[in-house]
A = this chain, B = another copy of it.
Amino acid sequence: MSWPVLIVGSTALDSVETPAGKVNDALGGSAFFSAAAASFTAPVHLVGVVGDDFALEQLDFLKQRGVDLTGLQVVPGGKTFRWGGRYHEHLNHRDTLFTELGVFESFDPVIPDHAAEGPLVLLANIQPSLQLRVLDQIRNPRAVVTDTMNLWINIDLSGLKEVIKRTDILIINDQEAQMLTNEQNLLRAGRKLQTWGPRTLVVKKGEHGAVLLNGQDVLCATAWPLENVVDPTGAGDTFAGGFIGALAAAGEISDRTLRAALARGTVLASYCCEDFSLNRLSKLQPEEIASRLEQFRQLTDFAL
């Protein structure tokens, strides 16, 4: 039976501009992207915070997929966290136009008691101090999976290191791994990070795929070759959600299930990029995922 998944992260409204167009105050935030991806294969408990300016019916598709939203706080009179960004022509770089923390400024994550026992935990991207507060409330986690971003390396390195120490599977992008370890070579950077705590590491390389280190073992995955990227916002969070969803469904963390998780995360992230916000993820059907997973297996098959 599938393990329950607890996801704690940012819950936001994003205003995003890419060469393909723009959206204003669209559903965003690491927890929503991750939950949407994980919900296909696991029972998800989501913890986050929004203001009463947030239209809760936007989350109906998550409820229909069984996501438990009792841990989503709604602050009366509060303003939802808003982020604005603009991507450059080639989508490899983006500028943050504004960040309005709103209700996140005083967020204190409270894990509902029914969700605190024995989950697979995904600490999606939020402040390390909040990630630590979450861990203190969990009893007997199956494993702690942590996603992070470069911001915390700059403003709370010691908090981040404490979180990493308590992490079983660290998901990190290439630049973050290089910054954290002062190692340019990704394998060496990963090996160093493993000595900080996590037995398992996923180093994401964006359009170039990901490398997974599990103990001594190495696994490499290319990204899905997309011909049209509309908006890459949330692709990393979606990857993390698909990844943890696969592990939860397997009910086991092993070389075999980590491979499946890497493939599933890759495929879900590719769908995320096909439209703005969670537009593609909210309409996605399990058959589409299965079909792309099979294609992914074929396009990376070197069984010679």
A57 at the interface (CB under 8 A from B): no
Q: How far is the CB of A55 from chain B (nearest CB, A)?
A: 34
Residues of A203-224 at the interface with B, using a CB-CB cut-off of 8 Å, are: 205, 208-209, 211, 217-223
Say yes or no: B211 contacts A209, CB within 8 Å: no
Residues of A172-191 at the interface with B, using a CB-CB cut-off of 8 Å, are: 184-188
Interface residue stretch chosen among A70-78, A113-121, A234-242, A291-299: A291-299
A155 at the interface (CB under 8 A from B): no
Which 7 pairs across A and B sit closest by C-beta, in order of nearness? A220-B222, A208-B208, A263-B302, A187-B227, A297-B302, A260-B304, A90-B184
Q: A187-B227, A227-B188, A259-B304 are in contact. Are A299 and B222 (CB under 8 A)?
A: no
Bound Cα distance from A187 to B228, whole angstroms = 9
Bound Cα distance from A227 to B190, whole angstroms = 10
Bound Cα distance from A304 to B259, whole angstroms = 8
Q: How far is the CB of A54 from chain B (nearest CB, A)?
A: 35
Bound Cα distance from A301 to B188, whole angstroms = 22
Q: A184-B89, A218-B225 are in contact. Are A302 and B211 (CB under 8 A)?
A: no
Say yes or no: B187 contacts A225, CB within 8 Å: yes
Which residues of chain B are within 8 angstroms of A151 by Cβ–Cβ distance?
none
Bound Cα distance from A229 to B89, whole angstroms = 32
| Apart from A211-B225, A220-B223: 13 A-B pairs, beta carbons within 8 A | A188-B227, A208-B208, A209-B220, A220-B225, A221-B302, A259-B302, A263-B302, A263-B304, A293-B304, A297-B302, A297-B304, A300-B302, A301-B303
Say yes or no: B187 contacts A226, CB within 8 Å: yes
Of B185, B226, B259, B299, which contacts A301 at CB under 8 A?
B259
Output the nearest chain B residue to A266 by Cβ-Cβ distance: B302
Q: How far is the CB of A253 from chain B (nearest CB, A)?
A: 16
17 CB < 8 A contacts A-B? A185-B229, A208-B209, A209-B209, A209-B222, A211-B222, A218-B299, A219-B299, A219-B300, A220-B222, A220-B299, A221-B222, A221-B300, A260-B302, A293-B304, A301-B302, A301-B303, A303-B303
